Amino acid sequence: MIIRSASDLPRARRQAIDADTYAAASAIVDDVRERGWPALVAHAERLGDVLPGAPLVFDRAALLAARDALPRETRALLERTADRIRRFSERQRAALTDMTTTIDGGSAGHVVAPIERAGCYVPGGRFPLPSTALMTAVTARVAGVSEVWVASPKPAPITLAAAAVAGADALLGAGGAQAIAALAYGAGSVPSCDAVVGPGNRWVTAGKKLVAGDVLIDALAGPSELVVLADDAADPSTVAADLLGQAEHDPDAVPVVVCLGRDFVARVEAELTRQLADLPTAATARAALENGFAVVASDLDEAIEVCDELSPEHLELCVEDASAIAPRLRNYGALFVGAIAAEVLGDYGAGPNHVLPTARTARWTGGLSVMTFLRVRTWMKVDDLEAAAPVIRDAATLARLEGLEAHARAAERRLRP
């Protein structure tokens, strides 16, 4: 691994979308928005999402049939995982409550309410990802979303089944920008959704950027990232295993270790070599390791500063007294406290969501949660004119300071008998 110092970190965010992909995706999105179903079918067939004439939409009955066809053990696995995600999401939802307070002359507050429709994208490239169907659709359902669609190209039976277990209403068997456009604007029986969420490749990311503003999107996902903060007590074989777990995601994944000595880096490198020898996904993992690096910090304080600067998607704390270190970290998508709390447990449904911010965006946003699908709507009621008079006069004065006389007169009208 390349060894970097704390003063030599890659600071520039990689562009999530190249110009050529963005231009081509824009043409696809415009076509689906304007022509609807015929355009969706044409692009899905042209790009290999579906064979000509094969079904493109799987209704609830088809999803349930896929679920019921699973081996009993596999169905039970999906249902256990969905239940863990559901329980965590329910606790999140319970923490978000309506509020009422007093204001001059009356009361005000907010109501927390779900959106009506959500579109959840599930990648389906090299491998099916049923875990992402669970992460996105279960969370939307717990938030109270009335109608949930999943989109996934060439969906495997396990993906259809996971959509059923997650409570999805239907699945669109298309991917890329064409699927994002269909979820955003509607096409045939696919309704226009209020939110389009979920990870995907550069075509999905381009599509989400193009529809943002017309619908809510969660984030523009870049390559997956893991930073392992390790001290001298950490187990190099465990650190290497976790780095490889991240590296096998994608050739563009970014595995990083932040530690306190070059000798620890050497021990991790030796373990990487040993574990790669019989890893079925070694080719992908080796490519991703080329993107990764090690940072040797002078002490734990500097190591923490490095992690905050990197602001990774996933941050593991393989250090002594990890619980004491955890509150000192500020920027991450998901934090894994202690050597037992492997990042893979987050990927596969311990509870918190695995759809997380990448490319240093954890500095200003968090991962997918029930909050993604909720709106905070405010309200105000004024029924005591005498008590409200001071704020009415202030409103009129402020309006005139801004040159908005009609605003001032509208406020002052309330003071008339």
Question: Could you tell me if 205 and 229 lie in one domain?
Answer: no
- Residue 3 located in a structural domain: no
Query: For 278, phi and psi rounded to 5 degrees?
Result: -120, 20
Distance, CA of 263 to CA of 270 (rounded, Å): 11
Cα(99)–Cα(89) distance, integer angstroms: 20
Find the domain containing 275 and state its range.
Answer: 223-367
pLDDT of residue 1: 81
Q: Are residues 242 and 355 in the same domain?
A: yes
Cβ-contact 300, 214 below 8 angstroms: no
In a domain, 5, yes or no: no
Q: Are residues 154 and 126 in the same domain?
A: yes
Q: Which residues contact 380 (CB under 8 A, 6 or more apart)?
A: 103, 106, 107, 108
**329 falls within a domain:** yes
For residues 340 and 232, state if they share a domain.
yes
Which one of 174, 196, 217 terminates a domain? 217
The answer on 35 and 147 residing in a single domain is: yes
294: burial class by Cβ within 10 Å (0-12, 13-18, 19+)? Answer: buried
For residue 218, give the nearest of 110, 356, 323 by alpha carbon: 356
Q: Total domain count for the chain?
A: 3
Residue 4 lies in a domain: no
Of 158, 185, 217, at which residue does a domain stop? 217
Q: Does 42 lie in the same domain as 145?
A: yes
Identify whether residues 251 and 393 lie together within a single domain.
no
CATH number (domain holding residue 38)? 3.40.50.1980
Return the H-helix or E-strand segment holding 304.
helix 300-310
Specify the pLDDT at position 5.
80
Residue 12, domain member (yes or no): no
Same domain (yes/no): 360, 392: no
* Domain-located, residue 8: no
Residue with tokens 């090690």: 294
Residue 4: predicted pLDDT:
86
pLDDT at 15: 63
Give this prediction's pTM: 0.93
Ramachandran angles phi, psi of 58, nearest 5°: -115, 115
Shared domain for 211 and 228, answered yes or no, is: no
Contact (CB, 8 A) for 259 and 318: no
Q: Is 264 found in the same domain as 198?
A: no
126 lies in the same domain as 183: yes
Residue where a domain stops, chosen among 202, 217, 232: 217
106-114/57-58 β-pairing: unpaired
Whether residues 315 and 287 share a domain: the answer is yes
Per-residue pLDDT of the chain (417 residues; tens, 9 = 90+): 888 888 888 765 556 688 999 999 999 999 999 999 999 999 999 999 988 888 999 999 999 999 999 999 999 999 999 999 999 999 999 999 999 999 999 999 999 999 999 999 999 877 889 999 999 999 999 999 999 999 999 999 999 999 999 999 999 999 999 999 999 999 999 999 999 999 999 999 999 999 999 999 999 988 899 999 999 999 999 999 999 999 998 899 999 999 999 999 999 999 999 999 999 999 999 999 999 999 999 999 999 999 999 999 999 999 999 999 999 999 999 999 999 999 999 999 899 999 999 999 999 999 999 999 999 999 999 999 999 999 999 999 999 999 999 999 999 999 987
Is 359 inside a domain boundary?
yes
What single-letter DSSP state applies at residue 339? T
Residues carrying an active site annotation: 313-314
Asked, for residue 13, whether it belongs to a domain, the answer is no
